[in-house]
Each structure stands twice: as C-alpha cells, then as structure tokens.
Amino acid sequence: MQILFVEPYYEPDGGPAAPLYGMLCRELVGRGHQVTVLTAVPHYPSGRVPPAYSGLIVRRTIEDGVQVIRIPVPSIDRSNLFQRLLQFFAYQVGAVYAGWKIDCDVFVAATPSLEVWLPFVYFSSIRRKPSVYSIHDVYPDAGVQLGIFRQKPIIKLVTLLEQFCANRSSFVRILSNSFRDSIKRLGVHESKIRLVYDWVDTDLIRPLPKTNAFSVYHGLSESFVALYAGNLGFSQGLEMVLDVAEFLGDEEIQFVFVGDGPAKVSLRKKASSRHLSNVKFIPFQPRERLPEVLATADVSLVILLRAMGFNSLPSKTLSILASGRPMIVSVDPGSDTWYLVERSQAGVCIPPENPHLLAEAILKVKKNAASRKEMGKRGRQYALEYHSPSSAAEAFEEILRQALDHNLSSD
C-alpha cells in the first residue's frame, strides 16, 4: 500500500505524537509499504521553529525509508490561543499545497481536526481517498474541560469539524475504550470504531542505572526523585505537585519537572514565589536522553485534572512502564490509565486533584525500596508484552486494508 500520514508532529519534535508516528511509519516501511508523512517543521513543544528549519521552504527528505515532507510554520507563543490557531492554519494550507499531487492508496489523519481539517477535506472529499481518523484526545470535550473553548460558537465549530472528520473517515481509531461513548456522540457508528492502544520504543527506553550522565549533570543521583517528564500543559493540573512539594518540604525529596509547555512559566513563577527549594525545572530533552531522564526517577508521576482521564491516555505512561520505574497516577478511577496501571501492577492509583493523597502515596513508595523495584520490573515486562511498535503496525495495517477494501467495494 501507498500510505500517507497527515500529522503536524514528527521526529525530531518533542511530545508523544512525534516518536509514536516515527516508530509506526518505520514499522510499516519494514512491512513492505510506501509511507509518506505530511508534517510541519519541528516546533513542538515550545512553538518555536529552530533556525535550521526557518523560512518558507517545503523540505522533502527520505528518513529510514519514510518520505518526510515538512511544511513551514511560523514560530509562536503556545500560551496564546490565537497564535496557535495561526500556526495550525499555516500547516494546513501548506499541507494541501505540498500534498497536491501526492499519490496514496489510503491516508491517516490525527486529531484534533483544528490542525488537520483542510488537508483531511482535500484528501477525503476531493481526492476521494479512504482514511483512518486517529483519536488521541476527544474534542471538543478536552478543550471545554481545560477552559480553552469557552464560547458556544467555538465549541459548536470544533464539534462540527470533529464530526466531519470522524464521520467522513472510513474508520476511527481510538487508543482508549473510554473514548468510545464520546465518539459515538459525534454520530460515529460502533462498526467504524477500532481500538489500537499506543505503543512505546522498548529498545530505546529501557531500565538504566539511576546514576547516569543526566542525573549526575543535574545533581540528582543522590536524591529521591519524584519526576514529571512531558508536556507542561493545562490538562495536568500540575500546581498540585507544587502543593505536595510544600507539604513534604522536610522529606528530602526532589520534585523534578522535565519538559516545556504553555503552563511552564506559570508553574515556575508559583514555585519561586513559594520558595520551593525542593522543586527543579529542567528544559525539554532530546529523545535520545529520555531513557536517562526516566531512569533518574525513583517514582514517576502521571497527573491529570478531574474528568480528563476519560478523554486522554497519556503516552508517558507507556514510557514509564518501559523504563522499569514505578509510577503514581492521579487520574479518574475507571479511566484507561487507571486500569492500565492496575493490570500491569506497576504503580499506585489515586483520584485526581487530591494533593494530600498524592503526598501520602509518594511517602509510602519512598519508604519501600523493594516494592519500588518489583513494580518497576512488572511494568517493564508488561510493556514488552503488550505495547510494542510491531503489534501496533500490524493492527494499523489491518485497519488500513479494511479501509481500502471498503472504498474499492463502494466504487
């Protein structure tokens, strides 16, 4: 098959989507398919485009057998919603321009529709190509819960865009069973929904010693580290971690944030104003450093605001499993993240937005080194068995074949 991916984030971008699609594309190439990616120049999570990628040039390269077409976008302040929408629009117009003559049998587009709607319309309605719409977060629900979408006309517009993409696609891929009801509310029939859990690079992310180049450089080798590594966004409610750091100020625990995102400036100001000497902020790290970053943790944290757990399954959870470190997840009971940690027996689950429970859980994990080691081992084994890139590629390949066959039978 000739497979096209419409995805604004691709390696070397940070965040969860870029490496996931990089792995998936390489696996599909290895299975004999021709794969093209219509993506943006690197810009995530900071919103800033590196000097090497500035300008209005559409860049075309072959990377590990994948044809990568990079669309120029402007550098922005990601905390400014208008600027983010401008960046989304620039990508979409550029993707249609650069993809005008691309030949493909089937294409994959990833949520949110705010970022991919225009190329989705072009390839699905004008070029009449079968498609898979991949749901990573449920919109507009996620934006409403975060307070990003407040006005009814905006919520209505986002809903209409999502309905168009979900209903016009051949199949809708979800990464969590908890998404199913929300997708049905968009008018999608159950027969079109396919569940494929996310995957993780278990070769790259593996158990490593706590004392490593990253932990030594940042003075963390001798500390008990509670680590949050990933996007510092608004859906996490990371202010709660600052509350816990204040509660546990005498416990010789370092609370470490690694990453960037729209909430970072606010978090740093709050930590500074509260004189939290046990909180450290470290910039976003290149993907090749991620194994060392995760190995620095004595316990990793996965934090989401109330109700966000039903609209998102953080991919960092899988990376933590693969790293062989225990985790504490503060998410909605009954969400897929909660069930994943319970099934793997790789950590502790607590309800969201409760700093006292989080503090108790961290202290309990800190006091039992043997338990930490066992949880880490179980998590690593679970990642190896159920979340490999090859299993994801096999599942996507089957869905893409079904989409192509369905389209051929309809013609």
The per-residue pLDDT for 158 is 82
Burial classification of residue 206, based on how many CB atoms lie within 10 Å of its CB (0-12 exposed, 13-18 middle, 19 or more buried): middle
The per-residue pLDDT for 324 is 97
The per-residue pLDDT for 267 is 95
Is there a cis peptide before residue 45, judged by omega within 30 degrees of 0?
A: yes
Is the dihedral angle over the CA atoms 189, 192, 195, 196 positive or is it negative?
A: negative
Q: Where are the beta strands (DSSP E) in 150-305?
A: 171-174, 193-195, 224-229, 253-258, 279-282, 299-303
Q: What does the pLDDT look like over 6-43, one tens digit per residue?
A: 999 999 998 778 989 999 999 999 999 999 999 999 99
The per-residue pLDDT for 149 is 63
The predicted model gives 225-235 an average pLDDT of: 90
The per-residue pLDDT for 142 is 60
Q: Please enumerate in sequence order all residues whose Cβ is within 8 A of that of 381, keeping only pairs 6 or more positions apart, or say none.
A: none
Kind and range of the H or E run holding 33: none
Banded model confidence at residue 58, pLDDT cuts 50, 70, 90: very high
Locate tokens 């204040």: which residue?
A: 246
Residue 147 has pLDDT above 80, yes or no: no
Residue 202 has pLDDT above 80, yes or no: yes
Asked if residue 123 lies in contact with residue 107, where contact means CB atoms within 8 angstroms, the answer is yes
CA distances (Å), origin 152, targets 34, 77, 140, 142? 42, 25, 11, 15
CA distances (Å), origin 300, targets 160, 339, 366? 38, 17, 12
Least confident of 131-140, 308-317, 363-372: 308-317
Banded model confidence at residue 152, pLDDT cuts 50, 70, 90: confident
Asked if residue 174 lies in contact with residue 195, where contact means CB atoms within 8 angstroms, the answer is yes
The per-residue pLDDT for 291 is 97
What is the Rg, in whole angstroms, of the alpha carbon atoms belonging to the chain?
A: 21
In angstroms, rounded to a whole number, what is the distance separating the alpha carbons of residues 55 and 406?
41
Claim: this prediction has a pTM higher than 0.85: no
Residue 50 has pLDDT above 60, yes or no: yes
Asked if residue 190 lies in contact with residue 210, where contact means CB atoms within 8 angstroms, the answer is no
The predicted model gives 127-144 an average pLDDT of: 82
Average pLDDT taken over every residue of the chain: 92
CA distances (Å), origin 357, targets 270, 277, 363? 21, 22, 10
> Which candidate, 331, 314, 327, 336, places its Cα nearest to that of 376?
327
Q: How many CB atoms lie within 10 A of CB 124?
A: 20
Domains and CATH numbers, the chain: 2-199+388-406 (3.40.50.2000), 213-386 (3.40.50.2000)
The predicted model gives 182-203 an average pLDDT of: 91
Residue 45 has pLDDT above 70, yes or no: yes
